[in-house]
Structure 1
Amino acid sequence: MDHLFTLASLLGVAAITPGPNNLVVLRAAGQAGMRGALPAIAGVVLGGLLLLAVIALGAGSLFAAYPSLQRWIAVMGALYLAALGITLFMRGVTTPRAGSSTTEDALPAGTVGLVGFQFLNPKSWVMVLTALATVPAVGLHGYLPLAGLFVLIPTLCLLLWAALGAWLARWLVRPTVRRAVDAAMGALLVACAVFLLP
């Protein structure tokens, strides 16, 4: 029981602190409200579960055999996050031209997009690998409590971020505020990418 409490605390801290998933959900809720953020939340949670399953079913032993593979995946994910952040930042600091695209295509969106995004998000990899390292190898049934925590805790934390985004929505309708928030979120994504580099 103490083991699950410690693991829940670790997941809670990782899920509530700012990171790429939280920023995507915040932005989705800012654009479309709490209901509009639900597909993003579902994508993050399902992607986290899929990543957990992939690593638990064999990728973890692959990383143990080839430690540099994990580092390369982390670097590629961090570069991807940095590219997203730079794109979002640049769209926030430049004045949009008539007929130019919006910032909506800069971040992954929808359930399917965010499921795939988890495999490029270094924070998701760190969270899953750390959690799995604490679980004794007791067979597949031993991972069920961990899977439950990976559903419950990120869902609750992402709902809090969505509530913040929905609250901010009234200000985000102003183009100058929206661009300032996009620039700030882009800078935060770049900072997350740098922080998550191995």
Structure 2
Amino acid sequence: MHDLFACAGLLLAAAITPGPNNLVVLHEAGHGGVRAAAGAIGGIVLGGLALLAVVATGAGTLLSTHATLRASLAALGAAYMAWLGVRLLGSTSGRASADAMTLPTSALGLFGFQFLNPKGWAMVTTVVAARPAADAAGYLPLVVLFTAIPLACLLLWSFAGRRLAVHLARPRSRRRIDAAMGVLLLASAALLLIDL
């Protein structure tokens, strides 16, 4: 049972900390409220569950045995996040987050993005390795965790985005928020590269 608590702690740490998924939800909720972020949240959670299924059926073993493949995936994801961060930092318009946030925002786009998110791969692979199961039913506790924890964390990010909506309407405040989001994306990218 303690391994399930450890997995929950790891998943909570990964889901609550800033990353591309959280920033998309923050952005969507900032523009249209929590309801507007619902599709993004659904796509992220369902994509995470699909990633869990892929890793549980063998992709995690492939990544753990092929260091070059794992490093390449992490480097590509870090480069993409760094590119987004630089675009947010470099924009001088008050619409930087709308123009520079080139992450997908639709449910389907975010579902697919989970397979490009190196933070997601690292977290899912670690959790599956820590709690392997003999059959599909053995993964049911992880399915519950991978639904409840990211959902709760993304809802918190959407409430934060809704609270920022007033500030996003002002160009000067928006530039500051865009810069903060850019820095967070660059920091996430740097952390991924450090782990290579």
TM surpasses 0.5: yes
Q: Secondary structure at the match of 1:108?
A: coil
Match of 2:155 in 1: 159
1:20 Cα deviation from its structure 2 partner? 1.8
Q: For the Cα contact (< 8 Å) 2:94–2:170, is it kept in 1?
A: no
Q: Give the CA RMSD over aligned residues.
A: 2.0
Q: Which amino acid aligns with 1:178?
A: R
1:12-56 CA-to-partner distances (Å, cap 9, x unmatched) read: 122112222111111111111110111111111111111111111
Equivalent residue letter for 2:165 = A
CA–CA separation in structure 1 for the residues paired with 2:4 and 2:97: 46
User: What does 1:134-145 align with in structure 2 at a 5 Å threshold?
Assistant: 134-145=130-141
Q: Go from structure 1 to structure 2 and tell me whether the alpha carbon gap of 1:101 and 1:114 turns closer, same or farther (over 3 Å shift).
A: closer
> What residue is the counterpart of 2:86 in the other structure?
86
Whole-Å separation in 1 of the counterparts to 2:150 and 2:142: 12
Please identify, of 186-195 and 136-145, the stretch whose mean Cα deviation from structure 2 is larger. 136-145
Comparing 8-17 with 57-66, greater Cα deviation is found at 57-66
Residues 87-126 of structure 1 aligned to structure 2 (within 5 Å): 87-91=87-91, 94-95=92-93, 102-103=98-99, 105-126=101-122
Percent identical residues: 54
Q: Which residue of 2 aligns with 1:5?
A: 5
Structure 1 match to 2:166: 170
SS at match of 2:47: helix
Per the TM alignment, residue 61 of structure 1 is displaced from its structure 2 partner at its CA by 2.3
Structure 1 unaligned blocks of 5 or more: none
**Which runs of 5 or more residues in structure 2 are unaligned?**
none
Q: Report matched runs for 1:46-61 at 5 Å.
A: 46-61=46-61
Contact 1:41 1:155 in 2 (8 A): yes
Alpha-carbon shift at residue 174 of structure 1 (Å): 0.8
> Equivalent residue for 1:34?
34
Letter in 1 for 2:74: A
Residue range with higher mean Cα deviation, 145-154 or 55-64:
55-64
Partner amino acid, structure 2, of 1:139 = D
Q: Residue 128 of structure 1 is aligned with which of 124, 129, 133?
A: 124
TM-score (norm 2): 0.91
Cα deviation 1:94-140 (Å, max 9, x = unaligned): 2469xx99426523211111112212222111110111111133122
Deviations 1:82-105 (A, max 9, x none): 1111122222xx2469xx994265
Shift in Å, 1:73: 0.7
Equivalent positions of 1:72-83 (< 5 A) are 72-83=72-83
Counterpart CA distance in 2 for 1:74 and 1:163 is 30
**Alignment partner of 1:119: what SS?**
coil
Which letter does structure 1 place at the counterpart of 2:9?
S
Larger deviation, residues 149-158 vs 112-121: 112-121
